[in-house]
Each structure stands twice: as structure tokens, then as C-alpha cells.
Amino acid sequence: RDKNGAIASLSSVAKLPYNSCMDGISNTFCLTPTALGKKTVERPKNLVSLLDGYFGKMGHHININVLNRELLEDAHLHPDKYPDLTIRVSGYAVRFNQLTPEQREEVLKRTMHGSAIASNSHLSSIPHCECFADNPTSVDLALSPTLFDDESDVEEDPEVAPVIGSVHSLETFSSNDGPGIRCLVFLQGCSKRCKFCSNPETQCIIDPFKCPEVAMSDRDVVGVLKKYEHFLSPNDGGVTFSGGEPLLQPTFVKSVFEKAKDMGLTTCLDTSGHGNPRIWSKVLPQTDYVMLCIKGMDLKLASFISGVSEENNKRARELAKYIRDNYKNIKLSLRWVLMKDTTDTDKELKALASFAKELSPVFTHVELLPYHVLGKEKYEMMNLEYPLEGMEPYDYQDAVEVKEKLESMGVQAILADH
């Protein structure tokens, strides 16, 4: 399902037979800085992983521009401000301001590979599929066993029967959802209705046996991992399950994670804390990293943000403590969406810091996610009202101040570099 991402593009060019292109194969490739990682210090390692993977697939000459589109657009309008801005065009290094306006416009039209998000392109295939449960409270604990998850302890022979999951989309190039370069699997179906959700199309819980458009087997996913293993293996890269809510499909996640670890890849769970110990114990033994999204420390606030009960929101905290008490090898980070005067208050931040300290030794850091409006157009495409209409994106400098506050309380916090 991933045909246009950075790794898919590199793999396609690497297939070109050199003996058919004796004049040389020169691939000019463009990435945004954030595509290579949240932090500046991570980006060189992930770029090296990309290059190693490309040449491991027998790729040849490659020119890489790491550019911010906004910077190029400003340089196009004001070339005198950027006298030393140099880019690669057709294998040659040129000063951007020495190109003609027409040439600069052509450069701006080129693909700039960014980090993965659930794609709009998959929206059109889902509306006719029937939702198993559109009301999140009706799937408060787990999916019906008639869908994905067998309640019994009997496990089928994996050589006989593949495990089927409900998958929205799959992106092969993510550097923001765990270490290294990762394959990011967006599962279909969520038990919450978060007001800031960027992927509302993944909320509807769909039976893959009734809607084959979302059906994907564990073997399908592992096939993708093997195809791009050259890119994923270095720097602790691997596979991350997101959604939707991956803990709605624990048997599917477990099966893929087991196979990924057999390949030497790391596994990461991006979750909002759905489920109970029976569900968690299926997935966590095969999990290296957990990114747990806490909606709010005040349960009323968390309920308001997530669209589900206060009791439901307690489970995220229970999951964190369950990991602390039973899986000390897992690295646990807390994801925290910053909303102005809502989740950035002193009361909320103090409670967050206190909770984080309770999670030693598995806790690593709080990841701050400034609220943004990316994904708002999806609500329009789905004829849904956007829940946070009128709320401005969270100011980056304000996020820096929140980071400093948490660090002053003795909690490590990470905020993606611009």
C-alpha cells in the first residue's frame, strides 16, 4: 500500500539495471529535515541508514537535498536573502538564486519526502464499509471476539492460518515514531474520539472479513518488512503499530511483533492505553518501546478531550504501571498534546511530572506534541464537524517553555526541532 514514500522511491530506482543505463544512474532526492527525525542529533544517523539501505539494494549515484519547502518558497520570492543557498539539480550543485524564476518554480514542484502520516488517499475506500461500532463506549474493553481477537487460549498454528488485521494504511518511512527508520502501520479502529485527532478516518472499527479493503495479514506486513529490511535494520529501526488503537487488535499486533523480532527489528506500540492485563500481556512480551498518549491528568479533562468516560481514561495510567511492574525491559515514553490553557497549565504539568516519576525505571521521557490543524481537511472530506474549530496551532516558543518547566521538575522532555 506504500507506493510513494521515500523508501519506496529509493527501492524503485535501485531496481534499474546498470547495464541498461551505461551513461550512469543519478537519483536526485529531496527530504525535509523533520523527515529524518525529531531531533537534529538523530538526523545524520537516519540519513546514513537511508543511504546504506539504498546501496544495499544495489542503488548507484544519489544526490540528496535536505530542504524545508517554506525556506525554498521564501528564497524564491526573496532570492537576495539567500546568496549561499545551494541545491542539487540534475546532479549539479547550483546556487538557488542563480536559477531563473521558471527553474525555481520547477524545483518547488518536485517531491519532498516527509515523515509519515495516515494518508488521505485511503479515505475513498472506507465509507461503504460498515462500522462494527461507531460509539466508542460500546468497545470500551475489547473488540467482539467475532472480529479479530479470540478470547480462548488456543492458538492456531501460524504455518496454517495467517492472522488477519484491519489496517488503514502502511507507511515504510517514519523517523518520528520510535528509533531509527521504521515501518509505521496505521490500524483501522479506535476506542476513543479525541478532539485533536488527525486521523478521524481510522476511528471506525471495521471487520476485515466483511470489508477486504482494510484486510491485511501478518504475513503481508512481514513481507513489507523483509522488502525494506536494508533500511529498517540499522540504528535500532523496526516496526511501529499506531492507529486507530493497536490494542484493539492484540493478536494481530503480537504476531507481527514476534516475526519482526525474529528478523532483528525493534517493535514499538503507539497507544492511548486501551484494554486490560489480558490484552496487554499478549503484546508486551514482544514489545521494545511503548509510546503512551495520556490525554490529561485531570480525569474530567481527559474525558472531555478523549470523548470517553473517566474510567476509560484510567486505563492508560494502569497500563503504564503494568509495564513498570511487569516489563522493565520496555522503554516507555508519554506523549502529551499541548493545547493552550488546557493541557499546559501548571496544575496539569505538575501532575504529569509527578506521574512520570512514578514510572521509574521504564520511563524515558515526555514527548511534547504541540496541537496542530493537520488533518482538519479530512473532517471536511468526511462531512464531519471539526471539534476544535477556532483553536489556533500551539505556539512553538510556548512549547519550548513547557519543555523547560518539565525539565525543571526533574522530568526529561522532548520537543521536535524546527
Q: Count other C-beta atoms under 10 Å from residue 92's C-beta.
A: 10
Per-state percent for the chain, helix, strand, coil, to nearest 5: 40, 20, 40
Q: Which residues of the chain have pLDDT under 50?
A: 1, 117-121, 124-125, 137-146, 150-154, 156
pLDDT of residue 102: 80
pLDDT of residue 114: 62
Output the CA–CA distances (angstroms, integers) from residue 106 to 75, 246, 339, in the order listed.
14, 41, 38
Distance from C-alpha of 300 to C-alpha of 35, rounded to nearest angstrom: 35
Q: Which residues pair with 363 in a beta bridge?
A: 332
Structure confidence by residue, pLDDT tens digits, 262-276: 999 999 999 999 999
Of how many residues is the chain composed? 418
Element (H, E) at 146: none
pLDDT of residue 125: 47
pLDDT of residue 118: 45
Distance from C-alpha of 252 to C-alpha of 274, rounded to nearest angstrom: 15
pLDDT of residue 411: 98
pTM (two decimals): 0.83
Helices marked H in 241-385: 250-262, 277-283, 299-306, 310-326, 346-358, 376-381
pLDDT of residue 307: 94
pLDDT of residue 360: 97
Burial class (CB in 10 A: 0-12, 13-18, 19+), 120: middle
Any residues with CB less than 8 A from the CB of 278 and at least 6 apart, and which?
none
pLDDT of residue 349: 98
pLDDT of residue 260: 98
pLDDT of residue 143: 43
Q: Which residue, among 288, 4, 324, 46, has the nearest Cα to 169 in the 3D structure? A: 4
Q: Using H for helix, E for strand and C for coil, what is the string for 194-210?
A: CCCCCCHHHCCEECCCC
Distance from C-alpha of 44 to C-alpha of 155, rounded to nearest angstrom: 43
